[in-house]
Amino acid sequence: PYDVLVVGGGPAGSSAAIYAARKGIRTGIVAERFGGQVLDTMSIENFISVKQTEGPKLVASLEEHVKDYGIDVMNLQRAKRLEKKDMIELELENGAVLKSKSLIISTGARWRNIGVPGEQEFKNKGVAYCPHCDGPLFEGKDVAVIGGGNSGVEAAIDLAGIVNHVTVLEFNSELKADDVLQKRLYSLPNVTVITNAQTQKITGTDKVNGITYTDRDTHEEHHVELQGVFVQIGLVPNTDWLDESIERTRFGEIIVDKHGSTSLPGVFAAGDCTDSAYNQIIISMGSGATAALGAFDYLIRN
Ligand code: FAD
């Protein structure tokens, strides 16, 4: 059996595994796709101490660092179920069952897609999901934010300070963001808010050049010329494979304490799959380290 088994091979899982292995304990990683969201990232400019890198390059360094510690990496394996008996048992999609004294869940999250024509085609070519990450790429340009909840309105406020103009498209008849955020948004001179807007398609040639939406009242179609579209309709944690033994928020995020412990003793969690306030590489690596140290504390007490 493992001392620490990590589920998920993104920055949180890699960091957790390295911290665990450095304690000299038997450590494994099960990952559906080693690298996680970082593999899908073009330019990374906020991984502190590295001025600029690319996702696949950072993943290669993560992998090299992990391999340096003799950690068992089981890539392209999806976890299906976990159960606590005398040990924690993790069942994989392929039927195998792995046993461990402690477990760290770091299965990350995925951006909810809007699912209109152009979204997939122009990903990283004008279609973006993370304003903290990609906002500066649109300096001086015109962008849209799809979604008028807290994350959409926060994104619009953030972007308004960088880009030339922001159009916020909300499907419902009013924004759902907190009042203070809405007030701030409406005070900005370079933001237009359009409600009752159903996005139809994102247009472009080699990159985005506009967005088409219909007014849900009049059914009229409108087109706005712009260079970027930020989709802000939610981040979904990859936690649907868990049962009630792991307590989660109503959004499905795993609830952790300051040691990274979940509601099931011996099971820890880190990164974007948890209820952490912000989702960033540097933050998920920090919480991975916390979960590994939490797991180590648990092991020496049990
Ligand atoms: P993830 O990176 O999502 O990794 C999850 C891991 O779990 C993967 O290995 C996945 O395959 C695996 N997994 C999922 N389900 C299972 C399962 N059932 N069984 C086994 N394995 C499973 N952050 C920044 O700081 N700077 C940026 O510039 C930046 N740009 C971004 C650009 C894009 C396009 C995206 C999508 C995100 C960006 N982010 C950026 C956010 C950052 O990538 C995430 O916050 C970070 O990757 C979260 O790390 P994680 O390890 O928690 O999860």
Residues 88, 166: Cα–Cα separation, whole Å: 49
Nearest atom within ligand 1 for CA of residue 30:
20
The residue whose CA is least distant from atom 3 of ligand 1 is 108
Instruction: Give CA–CA dist 62/146, Å, rounded.
Output: 33
Give 182-191 contacts, CB < 8 A, sequence gap 24+. Answer: 182/153, 184/157, 185/153, 185/156, 185/157, 188/157, 188/160, 190/160, 190/163, 190/164, 190/165, 190/166, 191/156, 191/160, 191/165, 191/166, 191/167
pLDDT of residue 132: 87
Rounded-to-integer distance, Cα 124 and Cα 42, Å: 7
Q: Look at residue 43 in the predicted model and tell me its pLDDT.
A: 84
Nearest atom (ligand 1) to Cα of 9? 9
Backbone angles phi, psi at 211, to 5 degrees: -140, 140
pLDDT tens digits for range 13-54 = 999 999 999 999 999 999 999 999 999 887 899 999 999 999
Q: What is the chain's mean pLDDT, rounded? A: 97
Distance 10 CA to ligand 1 centre (A): 5
Considering 133, 158, 215, 297, which one is annotated as catalytic? 133
Rounded Cα distance between 267 and 105, Å, is: 7
With 0-12 / 13-18 / 19 or more C-beta atoms within 10 angstroms meaning exposed / middle / buried, residue 302 is exposed
Residue 267, pLDDT > 90, answer yes
In this prediction, residue 261 has a pLDDT band, given cuts at 50, 70 and 90, of very high
133 is catalytic: yes
The β-bridge relationship of strands 221-225 and 208-215 is antiparallel
pLDDT at 262 over 80: yes
Ligand 1 contact via 255 beta carbon (within 6 Å): no
Taking the CA of residue 124 as reference, the ligand 1 atom at the shortest distance is 34
Residue nearest to atom 52 of ligand 1 (CA): 271
Strands 235-237 and 109-111: antiparallel
Which of 41-55, 100-114, 202-216, 274-288 is least confident? Answer: 41-55
Does ligand 1 come within 6 angstroms of the Cβ of 230?
Answer: no
- How far apart are the CA of 183 and the centre of ligand 1, in A? 32
38 Cβ inside 6 Å of ligand 1? yes
Q: What is the pLDDT of residues 122-174, one digit of tens each?
A: 999 999 999 988 999 999 999 999 999 999 999 999 999 999 999 999 999 99
Residues 6+ apart with CB under 8 A from 94: 77
Catalytic residue among 3, 40, 86, 130: 130
Q: How far apart are CA 9 and CA 19, in angstroms?
A: 14
- Select from 92, 115, 87 the least CA-distant residue to 102: 87
Q: Which residue(s) pair with 192 in the sheet? A: 167
CA distance 262 to 7: 14
| Cβ-Cβ contacts under 8 Å for 286 (sequence gap 6 or more) | 15
Ranking 41-50, 185-194, 232-241 by mean pLDDT, the lowest is 41-50
Residue 193 pLDDT more than 80?
yes
Concerning whether 134 is annotated as a catalytic residue, the answer is yes
pTM over 0.95: no
- Please, which pLDDT band fits residue 98 given cuts at 50, 70 and 90? very high
Q: Is 170 in the pocket of ligand 1 (CB under 6 A)?
A: no
- Mean pLDDT of all residues in 75-103: 97
Q: What does the angle CA 223 – CA 130 – CA 160 come to, to the nearest 5 degrees?
A: 60
Instruction: For residues 289-295, give the mean pLDDT.
Output: 98
- The answer, yes or no, to whether any atom of ligand 1 lies below 6 A from the CB of 72, is no
Question: Measured at the alpha carbon of residue 151, what is the angle toward residues 248 and 14, in degrees to the nearest 5?
Answer: 55
Q: Which residues pair with 197 in a beta bridge?
A: 215
Regarding the beta carbon of 238 and ligand 1, being less than 6 Å apart is answered yes
pLDDT of residue 18: 98
Nearest protein CA to atom 6 of ligand 1, as residue:
8
What pLDDT shows up at residue 271?
A: 98
Ranking 75-84, 130-139, 282-291 by mean pLDDT, the lowest is 130-139
